[in-house]
Structure 1
């Protein structure tokens, strides 16, 4: 194990959104120096980082220069300039998770191929280079509607995905290298986070169940523990632990899965970082995902993932029809409810469906937490003095 270090170590975080901010909040408890790279001077992490450097995660020079200023480089987003990371790695800069892991996960086609090569259950798929190729494959009968199209790179929070249910939906097809998946009859969507350090120690979090906003295709509500059978839970954990081991990961891996209408468990995709599906861990688990990420990338002993209380997390999203300086309503009423914990990310501007914060609701039973969560969603609204 590594020796524990505090302010002598500079941790560099690429991208300064809410994940970076919450990671810095944990690092500050250990008196660590934190640098963040982000093009937005008002990004959430810039408010609390030791130093904010303006620059794009997609710019070679910005990423390379940033990496040379820190002792350990990590990230809160997959979309990072790979050439810069590989050059930094070749020069001995410590990067966790490793750029090779990030490169595989950046490309959903490579991800899916990795699963099939390693006998990890996933939905059947085909790879195509363009919209034209997809339409040709349809005409030739190689694929049929319904299906889901995912751009191989660049997709995030529901972007880069087209769900084709009927032939009339073909106008929604995206152009670019894509994964075409058979549309799974989904009974429920679940997720878990698994951590692994350099020593090979792993720690797996309790499964969570997710409900998605059908319009925005992003998580609306999350429940922990998930309502699954013992066999389904075992399959999900085994798949996640197999993936993190095969990747030789250092850090966190969020694994999103489907349970289909027959009860089978299928891996959807993974993210090599802290994740929206783990926000509830700040209050509901012995070790939050953000502390665990630090433990993993610093090769420290991993913390307990024991669930303290049932929890529901709801994303606080920008309301439709509003874009401009943010205005919150309903916070006082929500905070008056026992077990409600609110996190606002510090984003100055709201827009429809933008993640502005989250609320975690703890209770003695999951049913009680769910009832309170519905009330919280009714109370908290994110608008602006300006209408879109």
Structure 2
């Protein structure tokens, strides 16, 4: 099929920043795109050929949108899987498939999938309701501390909470959840695996992630991870095992814990471009967004090696700031060596909302990390009042 400067249409479910960055690559290759998103202010709106306003969880909306395109992909997992399944039965190409996405959408199902496929992961218990969780604590079948995770709709640090005392249980949603054993890890790592329609795979280098302690969001992504080569190899092999088990098409970001004993435990996955791969836009021979296109369209997979060390700094809204966004001191960071800001196009900021990211590239990873710290301490994402 001729994808370039043709009548071919690529559909994207979700119009956020991941979709916007994917559209950079479709523009580069002149691929016609249609985007479905529930927000009039979606970042994708300015960059796609067709923009449709609609609920991603509504069966009819997703189904009818999918009928208009040749290949359908996602930039967010929270979409109507039944509609995707129906589109596949009609012969539409959907990547990742409805089967893959259904396994991943529910964190409890995802964890059971790891257990069934002998993929190392932290011990956990599954609860249909939060009240059952309280009963389990009282019966001492689970102990403090543990990590509570909502089974559905967790995103960007939402739906995850460390539970150390009874008071931490207050205000938790009542729905299905898991209680996961806290892992005293050395590092949080991630590996992005690209898998095409024929099952060919390539992995990106292992990255190291540093998280904000309060928001539970990634603050820094460091590539390559500052770990022993043997640990990196182990992480990549486990990521490949996860990829093979899910049989996904496109990208699969595999988030992992490196334990104190250098074991690797899978935390969770995302079947799409991911925050842990943003560094690749400046640092890799083939960035993750182009690679996702290559994989879902059956084009040759690109080189996943890094040209240079890269660090990504997330730009999130400051606490106590809600309203029209202002990027204070952005000129200062743009004067720094190897610094490239990416602004997502969200007009309104609020505390901890992802508003952009900054990539720092340098041949010396230690120097890049130092500049990243300067960037973090310099730029402020605030409101105009």
**TM-score if structure 1 supplies the norm length?**
0.97
Per the alignment, residue 282 of structure 1 pairs with 281
Q: Which residue of 2 aligns with 1:221?
A: 220
Q: How far, CA to CA, are the matches of 1:211 and 1:318 in structure 2?
A: 18
* Cα drift, residue 141 of structure 1: 1.6
Contact kept? 1:148, 1:162, Cα under 8 Å: yes
Contact 1:317/1:356 (CA < 8 Å) preserved in 2? yes
Separation (CA, whole Å) in 2 of partners of 1:4 and 1:80: 25
Once the two structures are TM-superposed, the CA of residue 384 in structure 1 deviates from its matched residue by 1.3
Q: Offset at 1:184?
A: 0.8
Which residue is 1:111 aligned to? 110
Map 1:1-388 → 2, pairs under 5 A: 5-386=4-385
Structure 2 unaligned regions, length at least 5: none
CA shift digits 1:259-314 (9 cap, x unpaired): 12222110000000000110000010100000000000001110001111111110
Deviations 1:180-231 (A, max 9, x none): 1111112110111000001111010001101111111010111110012222
CA distance in 2, matches of 1:365, 1:299: 35
Q: Structure 1 stretches of 5 or more lacking a match? A: none
User: Cα distance, 1:10 vs. partner?
Assistant: 0.5
Partner of 1:203, secondary structure, is strand
| Separation (CA, whole Å) in 2 of partners of 1:260 and 1:73 | 38
Query: Shift of the alpha carbon at 1:3?
Result: 5.8
How has the CA–CA distance of structure 1 residues 236 and 351 changed in structure 2, closer, same or farther, with 3 Å as cutoff? same
User: Once the 2 structures are TM-superposed, how far is the Cα of residue 168 of structure 1 from its aligned partner?
Assistant: 3.2
Distance in 1 (alpha carbons) for counterparts of 2:104 and 2:122: 17
- RMSD of aligned alpha carbons: 1.2
Q: Does the Cα contact within 8 Å between 1:149 and 1:173 map onto a contact in 2? A: no
Q: Which consecutive aligned stretches of 4+ in structure 1 deviate over 3 angstroms post-superposition?
A: 2-7
Aligned length: 385
Partner SS state of residue 170, structure 2? helix
Q: CA deviation at 1:102?
A: 0.3
Deviation of the 1:174 alpha carbon: 3.4
Q: Is the 8 A contact 1:104 1:110 kept in 2?
A: yes
Q: CA deviation at 1:176?
A: 1.1
8 A contact 2:2–2:8 mirrored in 1: no
Secondary structure of the structure 2 residue equivalent to 1:332: helix
Give the conservation status (yes or no) of the 8 Å contact 1:317–1:354.
yes
Specify the SS of the correspondent of 2:157.
Answer: coil
Residues 281 and 288, structure 1, Cα contact 8 Å, conserved in 2: yes
Change (3 A) 1:4 1:47: closer
C-alpha distance in structure 2 between counterparts of 1:60 and 1:325, whole Å: 34
Q: Is the 8 A contact 2:257 2:266 kept in 1?
A: yes
